[in-house]
Amino acid sequence: MTRRVGDIIEVNDKMQAGYRYQLEAPIGGNFADDFRPHHSPAEMLAMGVFEGKYCNDCRAEFPEDWFLDAKLSDIPDEKLNYFGLKSRQPLSVWRDKGWIYGPDPRGWFQWYCRYYLGRRLPEIDRIQIGRWKGFARHAGQIRANCHTGDVFCRPRQRQALLQWAYDPMI
C-alpha cells in the first residue's frame, strides 16, 4: 500500500490500540534541517538491528517493502545484529530511565519510523532529534580511538550508532 501526505494511519498492535496519526510530509522527506540520518528504517532493519526483535507485531503500520530484507525474530537473536553481538537494553530499562516520549511506546526507533513515514509532532520531534544529535558522541569516540577502516574496533558502539540511524562505518 502506498502512503501519501494526508493519509490517516491507524495503529492497533500489542503495545498501542486506537492510536491514529496523519501523514504531513512525504515518506523520507521534509526532515528538520538539523536531522540527517544516514539510514532509512528499511536499511536499518535489513542490516540487522535490535537483535531482530523489533516491529514484529506492528508491521501493518509501515510500508511492506521495509520488511522485504528485514532480519526479524520472535526472540532476541544477537546473531541477527549487523555486528553479531548483544547491543540493546530491554524496553523496561528505557521506561525506567524515562527515555520513552510521547505516543511512541517502543522508543526512539518507533518515533523515527513514524517520522520517516511522514508524521510530524513538533514538540516530540524536537526532543527526539535532540536525543539523536546527542548520540553523535559515540561516533566521536570511534574516530578518536579507532584507526580509519578498522570496522572491528568498538563494535558495540558501532551497532548502537546503526540503531540510531548513524553510519557505523565512520
Q: What is the dihedral of CA 73, 76, 78, 81, to 10 degrees?
A: 50
Q: Is residue 52 part of a domain?
A: yes
Residue 55 falls inside a structural domain: yes
Placement of cell 536531522 in the chain: 35
What confidence category does residue 78 fall into, taking pLDDT thresholds of 50, 70 and 90? very high
Which tens digit of pLDDT belongs to each residue from 32-75? 999 999 999 999 999 999 999 888 889 999 999 999 999 999 99
How many domains does the chain fold into?
1
Q: Is residue 8 part of a domain?
A: no
Q: Smallest Cα–Cα separation from 146: which of 164, 132, 158? A: 158
**63 found inside a domain:** yes
Model pTM?
Answer: 0.94
